[in-house]
Amino acid sequence: MREWLSLFDNRANRQLELALLLGYSVFTRLYEGIEMSSNAQGQSVTVIIPAHNEEQALPPTLSSLMEQDFAGHLRIVVVPNGCDDRTAEVARSFMAKARERGFELVVAELTEGCKPKALNQGDVHAIPDSVRVYLDADIRLSPNAISAVTRELREGSGIHCAAPRIQVAPAKSLVTQAYLKVWLNTPYIKNDVICGFYGVSAEGRRRWEKFPIIIADDKFTRMQFLRHERKVAQDATMTIQYAEGLKELIKVRTRWTRGNIELGMVYPQLWQRDEGRYTRTVPHLLSKPTVWPCIPFFALVYACGWWIAFKTRKANLSTWERSNGSRARLATT
C-alpha cells in the first residue's frame, strides 16, 4: 500500500512539474510578446520616400502607409526630386489623412533628380534617433509592415537591417512570369533584405554618414551589416510591380548590374560581404526541378544585363532609370 501511494505521489509530482513548466513557458512567451509590442509602440520611425515623377505610383504607396497599424511615432518624408509632374501635389494631398491617423507627413522638394541626394534630404527631416525606413515610391505594404519590421529592429535584438517579405503582383508577360519563377526562388530573394524597402535601426544608421552618389543605394545599405544582422519579417509583406516583357527586364537587370559593378569598384570592402551568393544560388536552383524550364529566360536576361552594363560602365549614370511601364500598371491595379 505504501509503495502504491509513493508511486502515486511521484506521478502527481511529475504532473505538477510538467504543468508548472508549461505554465512558465506560456507566461514567458506572452511576456516577451507584450514586451516586444510595447517596445515597437514606444519607438519612433521615419519613412523616407525618394520620388521622381511618381504621380502615378505614389498614391497606392501612401495609401498603404495610411493603413499601418503602427502605434508609435511615425513620420513620412516624401522627397520629390527633379519632378516635372504632380508628384509633390499628390504627396501633399495625403496630409489630412495622415493627421487623422496621428502620423506626420512632410514633403521636401529638390530641384535636381538624384535618388541618393533625395535620401540624404529625407534624413535631414527624420526624427532624431529613429528607425529609418527607406522606401521606393512604387511599393505597397501590408498593414503590419512597419510594426513587424520595427519589432525585428528593437534594441538588443542584434538585428539592424530588416524588411517585409517580398510579393510580386501578377505579371502579364510570359517572359516576366518565367523570370520571376526563378528569381523568387533564389535564396537571396527569399531570405534576405534586397530592394525597395530597407529598415535600419538607429544604431545601424550610425554606421555611415550620407548616402554616396552611387546607383546601388540599397545594396550599399545592406552591405553595412553582416548576414546575422539582417532579417526578413516573414509575417509582413511588400508588394512590388515587376518590369513587363524582355526589353524592360533587361533594362532593370542592366541597371542593377551597373550598380553592382560600381559598388565593387568604389567600396570593395562592402562588396566582399556579398561573397557566396552565386555559389549558394546555383545548387539551390538545381534542386528545384519545377523552375528548370524557366532558367533559360532568367539566364538570358542576366547575361544581356551583364553585357550591356559592362559596355556602358563608364556612362553617365547620375539620372533616374527605371521601368515606367510597371509604374503605369501599378496605378491601375
Divide the 333 residues of the chain into consecutive groups of 10 and give the mean pLDDT of each group: 50 55 45 45 90 97 98 98 97 98 98 97 98 98 98 97 96 96 91 92 97 95 95 97 96 94 92 78 90 96 95 62 56 53
Report CA Rg, the chain. 23
222 closest CA partner among 267, 171, 174: 267
Q: Convert 185-206 to b/e letters by CB count within 10 Å (16 or more is b).
A: bbebbeebbbbbbbbbbbebbe
Residue 3's pLDDT is what?
54
SS3 319: coil
- Calculate ∠ Cα 201-204-209, nearest 5°: 120
Q: Tell me what pLDDT residue 271 has.
A: 82
What is the CB neighbour count within 10 angstroms for residue 16?
A: 10
pLDDT of residue 7: 45
Nearest to 236 by CA among 167, 168, 139, 165: 165
Are the C-beta atoms of 155 and 39 separated by less than 8 Å?
yes
C-alpha cell at 260: 553592382
How many Å apart are CA 84 and CA 52, to the nearest integer?
A: 9
Angular region, 8: left φ>0, alpha ψ -120 to 50, beta rest: alpha
pLDDT reported for residue 112: 96
In one letter, which amino acid is 106? V
Residue 164 region, left (φ>0) first, then alpha (ψ -120 to 50), else beta? beta
**Dihedral, 68, 96, 134, 110 alpha carbons, nearest 10:** 170
Q: State the pLDDT at residue 19.
A: 53
Half-sphere exposure of 286 (CA within 13 A, CB side): 6
Residue 80 DSSP one-character state: E
Residues 26 and 104: their CA atoms lie apart, in Å, by: 38
pLDDT computed for residue 26 by the predictor:
38
Size of the chain in residues: 333
Q: Are 47 and 104 in contact (CB under 8 A)?
A: no
Q: Which of 97, 102, 71, 85 is nearest to 137 (CA)?
A: 85
Of 55, 109, 47, 49, whose CA–CA distance to 324 is shortest?
A: 55
Given strand 73-80, what is the order of strands in its sheet?
Answer: 104-107, 73-80, 44-51, 131-135, 197-200, 161-168, 230-240, 140-141
The pLDDT value recorded for residue 191 is 87
Asked whether 95 and 67 are in contact (CB, 8 A), the reply is no
